Structure 1
Amino acid sequence: MAGAIFFAKLQIFFEKFWMKEKCPYLCSVLVMYNTKQQHLISDSSTTGTNISNKNHICKMKKTILSLLLIISAAVSGNAQLLWKISGNGLEKPSYLLGTHHVAPVSVIDSVAELNEAIASADKIYGEMIMTEAMSPQSQQIMMGYAMAPQDSLLTSVLTPAQTDSLDVMLRNYMGPMASAKQFAQLKPAMLCTLIALIQSQTVFPNFNPQQQIDGEIQKRGAALGKEIGGFETIDDQCNALFGSSIIEQAESLMEMVRNDSHAAEMAKKLAKAYLAGDLNQMLELMEDPASGSSDEWSERMINRRNANWARIMAGLLPSASVLIAVGAGHLPGEKGLISLLRKEGYSVEAVK
């Protein structure tokens, strides 16, 4: 999924940088949009055609839905979010937890045996070490990745008609002062991520970017003296999120505008799957052609990262008990972490 840090860091990014210079109203929107009823815009009738007329499957649909796939309002009693890793010569079991990057921290209190898993582990591993991810240095690195080259500003890669359509969407979510021009210096992928954060509030109106599950788990582990580790650096996550070309990002942004109402409907279905803690249903929704599944996106954002993490786990698990907490979208499927661990000879079973 999209990296664990970005939903939490978006608010800080705009508070410290963009808000100061370009968009003074947006901070209050990010903090308080949970009190605003979200309205859906039409899917695409006024969208221009300079970037692309690809109204069929497109990568951004997958991005939007996948960002939302990592979230959950509550966890049912039989949710399959915490998994026990044993066998293959392990002296102590390890655990794999599917997290939800924009769900309330209270969600983890509903996960059976999670506190016991944290207490028994020697190490806590996440996508990143969250204290490092939130550092000023990481903030500056993210800013560098998020800013568009001067010859590829948003207003120069979109037609006037496309800009107008984007304006409608931004004003719908952020208020009457919002416009594409105010975000022109951001890469389209960064703007997509911000919009996805706001869209997620239709499912999780009480999410607080300053209190994020991945960070909370690491915080609890650190309080118990556990070693905290991460599979990726800030550069790794920025490359995954912002590594495609500006033109590809702009195509994805306009596809996001065209399919806003579709994404909202799919988000409701995904939320229902989350409430049941049903990883298989989540995977089916992700692979549904109607979701805009993209092989390139899946390879870059999911499969390649899963393979890298599995290699790191192979070195960790034999020598220590590890609680691994990463986005839930990384767990299911043939190339998901559960399957990869089983292929290495481990027993991976849901904790009921």
Structure 2
Amino acid sequence: MKKILLSIIVSAVSTLACNAQLLWEISGNGLDKPSYLFGTHHIAPISVLDSVPGFNKALASADKVYGEMVMSTAQSPQSQQVMLSYAAAPQDSTLTTVLSSAQIDSLDKVLKKYMGPMASTAQFAPLKPAMVNTVLALVQSQAAFPNFNPAQQLDGEIQKRGAEAGKEIGGFETIEDQCKAMFGTSIMTQANELMEMVRNDDKASGTAIRLAKAYLSGDLNSMLAIMEDPELGGDEEWSDRMLNKRNANWVRIMAGLLPTASVLIAVGAGHLPGDKGLISLLRKEGYTVKPVE
């Protein structure tokens, strides 16, 4: 459950986005021009960009646009092949090997629910459990938000607009970095996390809606609390691997980047809040970070 991608309800965008505090200004600490930090939603409609006050102005004023990765590179055939190589299960640790018969039956039911009567665990056997977890998280969120268009992904759209305006596009990670974070734990750990998602499937839609409302209202702390909720599968190891360590690495890069140019930084909104989130870490570096009203 903790890996459920944040979900958005289209009808709520126009009524809630006006209150969002997803865009933050970074200033002080000797900066000549402010930079900006924007929390994205990986399956949000791109229309949200026009609903966040100050976003278009921030993008226009920035010299560079940085994201988690350079999306055009991450979506290339070469990068997709790298991901497949990380996501492939060892021959002696396929899903049908590491899961019990009862677990396979439970996973089959959830897969059929979202993907149709022909879907089965056997079809996904060559993949690591973490990859199946990721696929399942996506279809769960898309079931709550059926109008998501993968061809118009928010992070990619921001970088696309930046590139069209002649701005330098950069990323804090490579596809290898993300794959190591997603697929680097032991097979049995991944299998346990996958089955936890299966057990929590009935809560998926409700959790996706709660996350959507928190995102659109700019309530970053509520988003983080939902993502890290132990009852929904959150734990310290996941937070450290998927959020905290990456945030610390990114801030080290930002420390060298921000003094050189005005940068629009657009990364997943879950990376912003908390004591180990980007907002707090940047403040500890001496920057003033405040919401753009």
1:1-352 to structure 2, matched below 5 A, reads 61-64=1-4, 67-68=5-6, 73=10, 74=13, 75-352=16-293
Would the aligned equivalents of 2:27 and 2:34 in 1 still touch at CA under 8 Å?
A: yes
Aligned pairs, number: 289
State the Cα distance separating 1:72 from its structure 2 match: 6.7
Distance 1:271 1:332 in 2: 16
Which amino acid in the other structure matches residue 68 of structure 1? L
Which amino acid in the other structure matches residue 138 of structure 1? S
* Structure 2, gaps ≥5 residues long: none
Would the aligned equivalents of 2:19 and 2:216 in 1 still touch at CA under 8 Å?
A: no
Would the aligned equivalents of 2:23 and 2:52 in 1 still touch at CA under 8 Å?
A: yes
Aligned to 1:28: none
Would the aligned equivalents of 2:17 and 2:216 in 1 still touch at CA under 8 Å?
A: yes
* Structure 1, gaps ≥5 residues long: 1-60
Distance 2:132 2:288 in 1: 41
State the Cα distance separating 1:165 from its structure 2 match: 1.2
State the Cα distance separating 1:193 from its structure 2 match: 0.6
State the Cα distance separating 1:106 from its structure 2 match: 1.3
Instruction: Describe the SS at the equivalent of 1:83.
Output: strand
Which amino acid in the other structure matches residue 100 of structure 2? T
Distance 1:222 1:323 in 2: 12
Deviates more, 1:132-141 or 1:284-293: 284-293
Identity %: 70
Deviations 1:1-43 (A, max 9, x none): xxxxxxxxxxxxxxxxxxxxxxxxxxxxxxxxxxxxxxxxxxx
Deviations 1:243-263 (A, max 9, x none): 111111111111111111123
